[in-house]
Amino acid sequence: MFNIFVTHLRVKCPKITPNRIGKVHDYSQCDSKVDYIFESIDGGNRGYMTGQKPGIQPGDYVLLLENRDQCRYQVEKVDYYSNQQDIWIALLKKVLV
């Protein structure tokens, strides 16, 4: 489903910040149509995100910009594509900060 968009991803994002529980991957300054794909589910409390760049792991956090507000999601599950190991799809859950 996301394969058509994957070829348009740029590699320069995200900034990764170490965190005591997991890493924080900041996509809030990235273009959601070019650098990653995010599909909201469950009324906006969860979503699927496809991105490029290795290092995303369950327990990590992803920062996204939604309607000019920064939102924090925790990675619940991540699957890396078998034919391109730096491309992944993750199930994210919104967390309150």
Per-residue model confidence as pLDDT tens digits over 16-70:
555 446 899 999 999 888 899 999 999 989 999 999 888 899 999 999 998 888 9
Which pLDDT score is estimated for 47? 97
Q: Which of 60, 5, 57, 59 is nearest to 32 (CA)?
A: 5
SS3 of 3, please? Answer: helix
Does residue 52 contact residue 67 with C-beta atoms inside 8 Å? no
Longest dimension (CA), the chain: 36
Does residue 54 contact residue 15 with C-beta atoms inside 8 Å? no
14 falls in which pLDDT band (50, 70, 90)? low
The residue extents of the domains of the chain are 3-95
* 9 vs 13: CA distance, rounded Å: 10
State if pTM tops 0.85. no
Is the domain spanning 3-95 CATH 2.30.130? The answer is yes
Q: Which residue type sits at 27?
A: Y
